[in-house]
Chain A
Amino acid sequence: MTQPKARWLEITAIVVVIAAVVRGLTVEADVTQGDVQRIMYVHVPAAWLAFLAFGVTVVGSVAWLRTRRRTWDRLAAASAEIGVVFTGLAILAGMIWARPVWGQFWTWEPRLVTTALLFFVYLGYLALRRAVLDPEQRARRAAIMGIVAFIQIPIVYQSVNWWRSLHQTSSRNSIDGPLRLTLWLAVLAFTFAYAVMLSRRLELARLEDELEQARLAGTPDVAGAAITAPTLEGVTRG
């Protein structure tokens, strides 16, 4: 059942997202790029959310290593899953924007390549989690990987400054007036959406853990239970 706090968070998120969508679709178009520029209201917040989500994964990983509390592991995992979704969305939105503006979906420029690799780093993190069945072992391995993986974030962020590239350095400084306000509203909307998704995913992870523990606490199978005697017309031969 959804708690009142979570309910209020969801209602606020819906309101802010609707406001951002309406604002994003109705604000004046960019003078040079036209309507294509509106994709930035998805691309930039998605990229920001990816950074935030992976930052939360590091916090969860460090906290798990210090406290060994399952809540932190669930937080790290949930945030990484959402981060991967937002990284994929940022790449996709960027590609859709690049086609009319740069003339092609993909160019070999540092921000794109480093973001794509960031996507693979965290796919690897999620693959690692799936590969380990024991919850304690999974949390331990994932916590180490969650911390090491974060090394990629400053590289993605700084890539446009370190290497000459087509990608603009920072969207905050390249637009102003109503467009800038719209971008900030979109960032706020995405942040609320992230908070709601994280809250829901954490609840789901908690229920998954409870189910797993209930299964483990059940009557253990006797030796050889996996091998059942052949049956004939529903009758077990004993």
Chain B
Amino acid sequence: MPFWAQVREIARKDLVIEIRTAEVLLMTVPFAAAALVLIPFAIGTDAPLLAELGPGLFWIVVLLFGVLVILRKSAVDEGPQQDLVRLLGIDPAARFTGSTVATSLLVLLFEVALLPILIALYNPDLGGWWWMAAVLPLVAAGLGLLGSLTGGVTASLGTRTSLTPLLIVPLALPLLVGATQAVESLQLGRSILPWLVLLAAVDLALAVSGVLAARPLEEVTT
């Protein structure tokens, strides 16, 4: 089977499992939405302040709750599943890419589901927000790549649910900086191109690291 066909099958498998359980859409999205509702009670319900802080809070919620998307049940292959994938001769790089594609798509879905909730609750300035069509996928891809890498190194560990967020969140700094600075640049009427380049560069670096580390990651679960 060609490489990209393997990638498509692995991604399809993860997405089918997710569609059956609907963990992201029915559990993680409402949980994150509840956080967006609760935050104003902690920082004050001043409407102009919330409009100003809204975009930053959105990215923080995406980062922290996005970890739950990465840790979802469908992202974990049990022993028999891993054995089957190996017996089928799936390339480790295709497996990494496939699971990254699935996670990235789910993070993107998570972002898109949260965005109208943020706009409704916080009423941020929407000038130039169509650029988000570029920012959201780049952040989703970055989180998906980080998730596959860190999820790979913590696979089958008892402390996985505690350890993975500790590994992901500090490493997601460039993604958070790129996303927040892009939105700020839009509000100030400046070019967001440098921040898109930063996000793309981080994604590329993570993608290269992931593909190179795919075989050792495969051996982790052997």
Which residue of chain A has the shortest Cβ distance to B194 in the bound complex?
Answer: A162
- Closest beta carbon of chain A to B100's beta carbon, Å: 14
Which residue of chain B has the shortest Cβ distance to A122 in the bound complex?
Answer: B170
Contact A132 B166 (CB under 8 A): no
Q: Interface residue tally of chain A, by bracket?
A: 20 to 34
Give the interface SS of chain B, mostly helix, strand, loop or mixed. helix
Contact B152 A144 (CB under 8 A): yes
A117 to B174 alpha-carbon distance, docked (Å): 11
Residue A152 contacts which of B173, B219, B220 (CB distance < 8 angstroms)? B173
Does residue A36 face the partner (Cβ distance < 8 Å to B)?
no
Which residue of chain B has the shortest Cβ distance to A113 in the bound complex?
Answer: B173
A124 to B157 alpha-carbon distance, docked (Å): 14
Chain B 157-173 interface mask (CB, 8 Å, partner A; 1/0) = 11100010011011101
Contact A131 B174 (CB under 8 A): no
Q: Which residues of B contact A142 (CB under 8 A)?
A: 153
Chain B 173-211 interface mask (CB, 8 Å, partner A; 1/0) = 110010000000000000000000000001001100100
Contact B173 A155 (CB under 8 A): yes
A-B pairs under 8 A by CB, number: 70
Contact A120 B170 (CB under 8 A): yes
Contact A128 B167 (CB under 8 A): yes
Contact A128 B153 (CB under 8 A): yes
Contact B166 A127 (CB under 8 A): yes
Does residue B108 face the partner (Cβ distance < 8 Å to A)?
no
Q: Which residues of B contact A152 (CB under 8 A)?
A: 170-171, 173
Does residue A95 face the partner (Cβ distance < 8 Å to B)?
no
Does residue B216 face the partner (Cβ distance < 8 Å to A)?
yes
Which residue of chain B has the shortest Cβ distance to A65 in the bound complex?
Answer: B216
Residues 140-154 of A contacting B (Cβ, < 8 Å): 140-145, 147-149, 151-152
Q: Which residues of A contact B205 (CB under 8 A)?
A: 151
Residue B167 contacts which of A65, A137, A140, A145 (CB distance < 8 angstroms)? A145
Does residue A40 face the partner (Cβ distance < 8 Å to B)?
no
Does residue B217 face the partner (Cβ distance < 8 Å to A)?
yes
A128 to B170 alpha-carbon distance, docked (Å): 14
Q: Which residues of A contact B174 (CB under 8 A)?
A: 151, 155
Contact B154 A141 (CB under 8 A): yes
- Closest beta carbon of chain B to A57's beta carbon, Å: 14
Contact B216 A124 (CB under 8 A): no
A137 to B157 alpha-carbon distance, docked (Å): 11
Residues of chain A having any CB pair with chain B under 8 Å: 65, 114, 117-118, 120-121, 123-125, 127-128, 131-132, 137, 140-145, 147-149, 151-152, 155
